[in-house]
Amino acid sequence: MNILVIGSGGREHTIVWSLNKSDKVSKLYCAPGNAGIAQIAECVPIGVFQFDELVAFAKEASIDLVFVGPDDPLAQGIVDAFEAAGIPAFGPNKAAAEIEGSKIFMKDLLKKYNIPTAKYETFTDFESALTYLKAQDLPIVIKADGLAAGKGVTVAASFEEAEEALRSIMVEKVFGDAGNQVVIEEFLAGQEMSILAFVDGETVKSMVPAQDHKPIFDGDKGPNTGGMGTYTPLPHIQQSIIDEAIENIIIPTAKAMVSEGRPFRGVLFAGLMITKDGPKTIEFNARMGDPETQVVLPRLKTDLLEIVLAAMNGTLANLEIEWNNDAAVCVVIASEGYPANYPKGKVITGLETAEAKGALVFHAGTAMQDGQFVTNGGRVLGVVGLGENIQAARAHAYDAVASIQFEGMQSRTDIAMKALV
């Protein structure tokens, strides 16, 4: 089969790497891709929002299947565009992708179907949001309604911080139209957990759970990022809690979407908090996580393409998906200044050494310049170590990170430490 992957980050590099292992694949393309992806697939210089050009390319290259990586094009209806042209695309259509595209839609859905989540209120007006805020307990969570590259959420410890977050979203419009509405919700304390699942309507096949690290600095300090590292499995979280989350949150949500006339097909990603009252939903995403994908797919034994095809043709329920017992730890290496402004074009060295040590190096923001890899994004690389347990995988990941250099690079030193406490 000829396959086109949409996107240009670490998630897409991992998807391409995983699909490349399938003997059902004859040719892999990625639009627009990055310098790492270009090592294993043909990169096509078409942006993720150029739907007409992407459809035209897919026809011209006889693409049999499209795999959509990022959230924004899903929310804007990229799957609908491919399907209208008769090209099968793996991912939710626009109506189903609203579960990520609008936090208010998601929260209202969970409330309607009694699916566990934090208490919340929604606002379209800054003054009324501020009035409500004054009566709430701290800490409190402020969320822009729309997509904001993983950065539209603030956990505010003080009223001043909460007011500043509201003002930047609603008045200063730092996230544009994504901030036309906000959700103010209670702060949930506990361990975070991410569970991704292959979904086709009411059929849910969950993947191995992972845990992300959102803040930029060690000890979960500093501003939120798109994710600074992940690991799987979660030895410190009981299997019964993971099962409870799947049974009480993910499966009911898939069924709720069918009931709403928005059946979900693709990867549904639940961001969860394990509270004293059990797992509760923080968010849903309509695609594979980044950097969760970088640790989850290396543990997948079943052919990824086989799973995707089963979801597309309605046979997912009959497919037994197998996982290996490895632990995987991903450390994200980011540019100086990220998640704010950062430079580009810094020469990266040591990639071959890192890979020679057995690490998987997934490119997130890289380009090729004069025959050298250079930085081309905020998050530059995801370095994945594998091992028989978290300790071994972590040691492998950090040993490989130590081999890589570019000017101003930053990474956290405490990824996966929560599993070892």
CATH number of the domain to which 314 belongs = 3.30.470.20
Same domain, 201 and 153: no
Is residue 103 in a domain? no
CATH of the domain at 73: 3.40.50.20
Same domain, 173 and 197: no
Is residue 14 in a domain? yes
Query: By the 8 A CB rule, do 210 and 295 touch?
Result: yes
Write the pLDDT tens digit of every residue in 227-239.
Answer: 999 999 999 999 9
Same domain, 246 and 311: yes
Query: By the 8 A CB rule, do 393 and 386 touch?
Result: yes
Same domain, 25 and 68: yes
pLDDT of residue 124: 94
Is residue 119 in a domain? no
pLDDT of residue 224: 85
ω before 32 within 30° of 0 (cis)? Answer: yes
Q: Which of 198, 193, 194, 234 is closest to 321 using CA atoms?
A: 198
CATH of the domain at 379: 3.90.600.10
The b-or-e profile of 216-243 (16+ CB within 10 A means b, else e) is: beeebeeebbbbbbbbbbbeebeeebbe
Is residue 394 in a domain? yes
CA separation for the pair 263, 204 (Å, rounded): 12
Is residue 293 in a domain? yes
Structure tokens at 249: 């949150």
pLDDT of residue 341: 96
Is residue 120 in a domain? no
pLDDT of residue 152: 85
Q: Which of 397, 366, 377, 364 is closest to 336 using CA atoms?
A: 377
Same domain, 224 and 302: yes
pLDDT of residue 83: 97
In SS3 terms, 33-89 reads as CCCCHHHCCEECCCCCCCHHHHHHHHHHCCCCEEEECCHHHHHCCHHHHHHHCCCCE
CA separation for the pair 419, 140 (Å, rounded): 26
Q: Give 218's DSSP letter.
A: G
Same domain, 278 and 348: no
Residue ranges in the chain whose pLDDT is less than 70: 150
pTM: 0.94
Q: Which contacts (CB < 8 Å, 24+ apart) does range 318-323 have?
A: 319/205, 321/198, 321/205, 321/207, 323/207, 323/208, 323/299
pLDDT of residue 23: 96
Q: Which of 197, 276, 211 is closest to 243 using CA atoms?
A: 197
- Tracing tokens 């090592």 back to the chain, one arrives at 39
Same domain, 298 and 216: yes
Is residue 412 in a domain? yes
Same domain, 303 and 208: yes
Structure tokens at 263: 């059946």
pLDDT of residue 293: 98
Is residue 108 in a domain? no
Angle at 152 between CA 231 and CA 135, to 5 degrees: 110
pLDDT of residue 166: 93
CA separation for the pair 190, 92 (Å, rounded): 30
Same domain, 138 and 217: no
pLDDT of residue 60: 98
Same domain, 140 and 172: yes
Give the torsion sign (CA, 208, 209, 215, 219): negative
Q: The domain containing residue 157 runs over which residues?
A: 125-180
Residue finishing a domain among 289, 318, 347: 318
Domains held by the chain: number:
4
Residue finishing a domain among 288, 318, 348: 318
Write the pLDDT tens digit of every residue in 356-398.
Answer: 999 999 999 999 999 999 999 999 999 999 999 999 999 999 9
- Alpha-helical (H) ranges within 146-261 are 159-166, 239-245, 251-259
Element (H, E) at 396: helix 390-401
Half-sphere exposure of 154 (CA within 13 A, CB side): 21
Amino acid in the structure at residue 289: G
Same domain, 314 and 361: no
Same domain, 198 and 300: yes
